[in-house]
Structure 1
Amino acid sequence: MEDLGRQVTYWDTVGAEKTFTHPVDLGWLATAGRDARILDYGCGYGRVMAELGRHGFSDVSGVDLSAALIERGRRSHPDLRLAVLESPPSLPYPPAGFDVVLLFAVLTCVPDDDAQRALIAELTRVLASGGLLYISDMVLQDDERNRDRYAAYAQRFHTPYGVFATDDGAVVRHHDVAELHALLPAFDLVEERQTLVATMNGHPARAVQLLARKR
């Protein structure tokens, strides 16, 4: 099974054509200001970055491990600052280089516990003291279909409950909200809300958004 912290082959092929839908609440970024240094980690094809640009945010950078998604973003939004991550989660930026980090539907694509902790540690490094981490991700669904596949995958592969394989080959994770909170020992929670999204395969699903401030 490919490294569950990356899954580059999937994102450079099937995943490169997906549509991502998690909404960004611009009000949550109001305290940061339009000149905030923002990093969109796992930016995909730059959807959220483009929205921020349309609303006056002037210093936005995006990185993704998929060269195919970055190329798609460059075709659609040639004005965006997009870069391919060569050795995720390592970032080519100095400590405290950003005021805001966005992490939209990324943890669901990094189902391994150690890989998630390594990612958050790297984002904590590049985030300035008092900076904001804005997470949007999938929570455990309570329908029979999802419960069955969570249980089957955990039994077969001994993965955390909530991990499963999609029909087109990605291994993803839905979270108990407490699991997301546990990833943030260096942060204070500012805001939290539940929301509805469409998954990358078009199914309605519940998600959570967290806004946390680095101590």
Structure 2
Amino acid sequence: MIEVKDLCKQFKDGEKMIDVLKKISFTINEGDFVSIVGASGSGKSTLLTIIGGLQEPTSGHVYFKGQDIFADSKEDLAIFRQKHIGFVFQQMHLIPYLTALENVLLPLVPLNMSIEEQLERGRWALEKVGLKGKENRYPDQLSGGEQGRVALARAIVNKPPLILADEPTGNLDSKTGKTIMDLFKELNNEGQTILFITHHPEHANYGNRVFDMQDGLIVESR
């Protein structure tokens, strides 16, 4: 599904160029659950955002089903993200004045889909993550774990083939974090492809593949 080839990313720090990613190459197969672990600053989040098309690499390529995602226009890249990627972040980015259902529906707004279809899809996603009956609650009326479930429902509502998750359990207690991880595993068992960043070793073990990152390199893959 995904091929990352010779991926490099540099940032300018004053007069110096900092190498954040250093010629990284790997593939992700359809149905994989890939966990990425590594110290803060190792390049994990940068790698994830490039694969998701949120920032461009300095050099190298990201292929999705054989297509270089950066070969086309920015408009085409935005359409690619809408169709193919579901994002979940540590800071869940829920809109406080929107209900759980309205938050989940946000990725569907640009799509050619009727209101009835959107509502049906949104309710399906919330039921999928165990929040049936809480569609009309606002984020501050939900627990941290429930907010995490809303964020996950938002990521799957357009049924993307790939979910990219950056420390989605980082701000949750261990019990709630396990609940979220069990949801990810359930989705993966149903065929969902997942690329997941975590600093919890026990959460990394949910993946069928684990990449260890260090100083912009994948130093070990298991």
The structure with the larger Rg is: 2
Which structure is richer in relative contact order (CA contacts within 8 A, separation 6 or more)? 2
TM over 0.5: no
The normalised TM-score by structure 2 is: 0.30
